[in-house]
Amino acid sequence: MDAQAVAAMIDHTLLKPEATRADVAALIAEAAELGTYSVCVSPNMLPVEIPAGSGLAVAVVCGFPSGKHESRVKALEAALAVEKGAAEVDMVIDVGRARERDFAAVQADVAAVRAAVPAPTVLKVIIESAALDDDMIVGVCEAAVSAGADFVKTSTGFHPAGGASVHAVRLMASTVAGRAQVKASGGVRTMADALAMIDAGATRLGVSGSRALLADVGEGTGGEAAGAGGAAGAGDDAGY
């Protein structure tokens, strides 16, 4: 897979708390130049101006980064983002509920956001996989699919437990089994990382350092890249 094909799978991301509107404008210009699939920004940065003919989608985060928001707050946040031009919403679950194995609560949380932003809005569900064991990952993915999610996504990139891992991506992909797609995010910094995640089943990548990744000459699947049992470091890829 060449760099252009990888670029077309990237959500080019800027979620730093200190980001300015000028930073977001620069992100969008860079995304258009690199040919990424989308830009992913904080909700208060909307609306944004997308270059004509670039084909860039606009994604926004919801309940970010903790997920510790009432479901109706997440739903309103998502709906407002779509009103302001977002085509995709990346929502964070309540990870504590997942760790308690209260998957019904997770499903209800996702369902509330799904109801607020029905198709064709793309809904991605961030499960914070590095903070969960395998059984929890399976349970959360099943809950997300049952609630109508289009993607399950590994990480916010802000959790101290870490970001994406090949093991988590592979488990998530096998669990959703074509009923949803998988996004790997958090610590995907090199082409080897990207190709390993794709090989494990990811169809979208959350990357903040897209230019460096796409220019990386050390291509190859890189084996386990971010690690089969562990995860890439949290927040070490500009927080995503």
pTM: 0.92
Half-sphere exposure of residue 226: CA atoms within 13 angstroms, side-chain side? 38
Range name among 6-20, 165-179, 180-194, 223-237 with the lowest pLDDT average: 223-237
Higher-confidence residue: 46 or 233? 46
Domain ranges for the chain = 3-215
Please state the rounded mean pLDDT for residues 151-166. 95
90 is catalytic: yes
**Whether the Cβ atoms of residue 192 and residue 221 lie closer than 8 Å to each other:** yes
153 is catalytic: yes
Catalytic residue among 11, 74, 90, 109: 90
134 is catalytic: no
Catalytic residue among 74, 183, 193, 237: 183
**Whether the Cβ atoms of residue 183 and residue 205 lie closer than 8 Å to each other:** yes
**Whether the Cβ atoms of residue 240 and residue 232 lie closer than 8 Å to each other:** no
pLDDT recorded at residue 223: 40
3 state SS of 187: coil
Catalytic residue among 94, 124, 150, 153: 153
Q: Which residue has the tokens 């609630």?
A: 147
Please write the tens of the pLDDT for every residue from 53-85.
999 999 999 999 999 999 999 999 999 999 999
The topology under which CATH files domain 3-215 is: TIM Barrel (3.20.20)
Distance CA(76)–CA(88), nearest Å, equals: 14
Count of C-beta atoms within a 10 Å radius of residue 239: 18
Instruction: State yes or no: pLDDT of 216 exceeds 50.
Output: yes
Please state the rounded mean pLDDT for residues 193-209. 97
Which pLDDT band, with edges at 50, 70 and 90, does 218 fall under? low
